[in-house]
Amino acid sequence: MVEDRDSYIFGAIGYIFGIMIALILFIVKKDDQYVKYHTAQAILFDIFVMFVSSFIAIAAFALVFVIGGANFLGFFASFWIVWIVVMAFSLVMFVLRLFFAWKAYNGSRFRLPIISSFADKIIIK
Task: State how far the Cα of 50 lies from the Cα of 28, in Å rounded to an integer.
Answer: 24
Task: State how far the Cα of 45 lies from the Cα of 48, in Å rounded to an integer.
Answer: 5
Residue 79 lies in a domain: yes
For residue 3, what are the contacts with CB-CB under 8 A and spacing of at least 6?
Answer: 32, 34, 107
pLDDT at 123: 83
Range of the domain at 71: 5-120
Residue 22 lies in a domain: yes
SS3 of 107, please?
coil
CA 115 to chain centre: 11
Nearest to 37 by CA among 96, 108, 113: 108
22, pLDDT greater than 90: yes
Residue 97 and residue 15 in contact, taking contact as beta carbons nearer than 8 Å: yes
Residue 125 lies in a domain: no
- Summarised one tens digit per residue, pLDDT across range 87-102 is 999 999 999 999 999 9
**Mean pLDDT along residues 48-71:** 82
Residue 50 lies in a domain: yes
Task: State how far the Cα of 32 lies from the Cα of 34, in Å rounded to an integer.
Answer: 6
Residue 41 lies in a domain: yes
pLDDT at 62: 81
What are the DSSP calls for 18-73, one per residue? -HHHHHHHHHHTTT-HHHHHHHHHHHHHHHHHHHHHHHHHHHHHIIIIIIGGGSHH
Count of domains for the chain: 1
pLDDT at 70: 65
